[in-house]
Structure 1
Amino acid sequence: MVVGVLRLTLFLPENHSLKGKRQVLRAIKDRVRNKFNVSIAEADGHDLWQRAELGICQVGTDRAFVDSALREVVNFIERLGLAPLGEEALELINC
């Protein structure tokens, strides 16, 4: 079994409130959940209104599949154009 953990930093420079941040993150999370079979949640930066960190997890039996699926998620979020991406950290864990 392989567990893939992706941590993404998003910047929200046009945002001016936590309410606006929640709206953008909800849109991103809902679209990712609808398109991919992954878990996604805000992992850090809860009190910062112009920055967010998302944690995204995928479990599978094939390392290449999990890696590819999480990279597709990154590309999808980038194509949405709702928030510029900052740092990206991908870790694959063999269990």
Structure 2
Amino acid sequence: MWIASLEFDFLLGDVHSLKAKRSVVRPLVAEIRRRYDVTVAEVDHRDVHRRTMIGVAMVSGDAAHATEVLDTVERFGAARPEVELLSVRRRMVNTDDL
């Protein structure tokens, strides 16, 4: 079994309050969850107006499938016009290694 994850570090555009940040982050999180059937949440920078870190995770029986899904999610996150992608961290762990 493979456990795969991505951490997106995003810089948000014209955001000056946490309320405005929510209006950008919530639809992004919901769209990733809906399109790719993965677990996704805001995991860091929750109290900072113009930054967010979004975590995506999945479990798969096949490393190639997990890689394909993460590649697709990463392209989706990088193509979003309302945010600027600063970095992405990817991790894949085989449960035999735990």
SS at match of 1:84: strand
Deviations along 1:44-85, one digit per CA (max 9) or x if unpaired, are: 001100000011001101111101101111111222322111
SS at match of 1:80: coil
Partner of 1:74: 74
CA RMSD of aligned residues (A): 1.0
What TM-score, normalized by structure 2, do the two folds share? Answer: 0.91
Partner of 1:14: 14
Share of identical aligned residues, percent? 28
Partner of 1:88: 88
Structure possessing the higher radius of gyration over alpha carbons: 2
Moved over 3 A (4+): none
Aligned partners of 2:6 and 2:70 also within 8 Å? yes
Aligned partners of 2:2 and 2:94 also within 8 Å? yes
Instruction: List runs of 5+ in structure 1 lacking aligned partners.
Output: none
SS at match of 2:79: helix
The CA distance in 2 between the partners of 1:91 and 1:77, in whole Å, is 16
What TM-score, normalized by structure 1, do the two folds share? Answer: 0.94
SS at match of 2:64: helix
1:13 deviation in Å?
3.2
Instruction: List runs of 5+ in structure 2 lacking aligned partners.
Output: none
Partner of 1:65: 65
Partner amino acid, structure 1, of 2:73: V
Query: Would you say how many aligned residue pairs link Structure 1 and Structure 2?
Result: 95
